[in-house]
Chain A
Amino acid sequence: MSGLAPRTTDLASRPDRKAPAVEVRDLRKTFRRRDRNAGRFARKRPWPALADVTFTIARGECVAILGQNGSGKSTLVRLLSTLLLDDGGEARIFGHDAFKETSTIRRLVNRVSVEASFFKKMSAAENLSYAARFYGMTPRQTRAAVPQILAQVGFPPERRGEAMENLSRGMQQKVALARALLTSPVLLLLDEPTTGLDPRSKLEVQDFIRQVRAEHDATILLCTHDMNEAETLADRVGLLDRGRLLFLEPVEDVKRRFGVETLEQAFFAATGREFENEATEEDDEYREVFA
Chain B
Amino acid sequence: MSSGVRSTEPPYRGRAGFAGAAATSAAVEMRNQLVGLFGIVERNVYLTKRYFLWDLAFMVWTIANTLTIVFIARAEHLSPARENTLAMKLLVGATIWAFLGIIFEFMTETVAWERWEGTIEYTFMAPLSRLVHLFGQGAFAVLYGLIRAAILFFAVAAFIGIHAPRANYGAALALLAIASLSFIGVGIMTSVLPLVSPEKGAQLGFVAQGVMLVVSGVYYSVNVMPEWMQWIAKVSPATYALRGNRDSIIHGAGLAWGDVWPLLIIAVVATPLGLAIFRVGERYAKRHGKLKRSG
Query: Which residues of A are at the interface with B, using a C-beta cutoff of 8 A?
Result: 1-2, 4-5, 7-15, 17, 21, 31-32, 59-60, 75, 78, 81-85, 94, 103, 106-107, 109-111, 113, 115-122, 126, 129-139, 145, 149, 152, 163, 178-179, 181-186, 188, 208, 211-212, 215-219, 289-290
Which stretch, B113-121, B157-165, B196-204, B231-239, touches the partner chain A?
B113-121
A139 to B34, CA, bound (A): 13
Please state if A103 and B127 are interface contacts (CB–CB under 8 Å). Answer: yes
Partner pick for B38 among A133, A185, A289, CB 8 A cutoff: A133
Task: Tell me if B268 is interfacial: C-beta within 8 Å of chain A.
Answer: no
Please state if B123 and A119 are interface contacts (CB–CB under 8 Å). Answer: no
Interface string of B1-34 (1 = CB under 8 A from A): 1111111101111100000011011001101100
Known: A9-B28, A181-B3, A212-B5. A134 touches B123 (CB 8 A): yes
Question: Total A-B residue pairs with C-beta atoms closer than 8 Å?
Answer: 182
Query: Which residues of B are at the interface with A, using a C-beta cutoff of 8 A?
Result: 1-8, 10-14, 21-22, 24-25, 28-29, 31-32, 35-36, 38-40, 42-43, 46-47, 50-51, 117-119, 121-129, 283, 286-289, 291-293
Please state if B8 and A5 are interface contacts (CB–CB under 8 Å). Answer: no
Known: A9-B11, A11-B22, A119-B47. A83 touches B124 (CB 8 A): yes
The distance from the CB of B286 to the nearest CB of chain A, in whole angstroms, is 5
- Chain A neighbourhood of B24, CB < 8 A: 9
Closest to A289 in B: B289
10 smallest beta-carbon distances between A and B, as pairs: A133-B39, A136-B32, A181-B4, A134-B126, A117-B118, A184-B6, A106-B127, A218-B5, A121-B50, A7-B11
A228 to B1, CA, bound (A): 27
Closest to A112 in B: B122
- Chain A neighbourhood of B118, CB < 8 A: 115-118
Please state if B12 and A11 are interface contacts (CB–CB under 8 Å). Answer: yes
A selection of 25 A-B contacts at a CB cut-off of 8 Å is: A2-B3, A9-B12, A10-B25, A11-B22, A11-B25, A17-B8, A17-B10, A32-B288, A78-B289, A106-B125, A106-B127, A117-B293, A119-B46, A119-B47, A121-B47, A122-B43, A134-B128, A136-B35, A149-B4, A182-B4, A183-B4, A184-B5, A186-B6, A215-B3, A216-B2
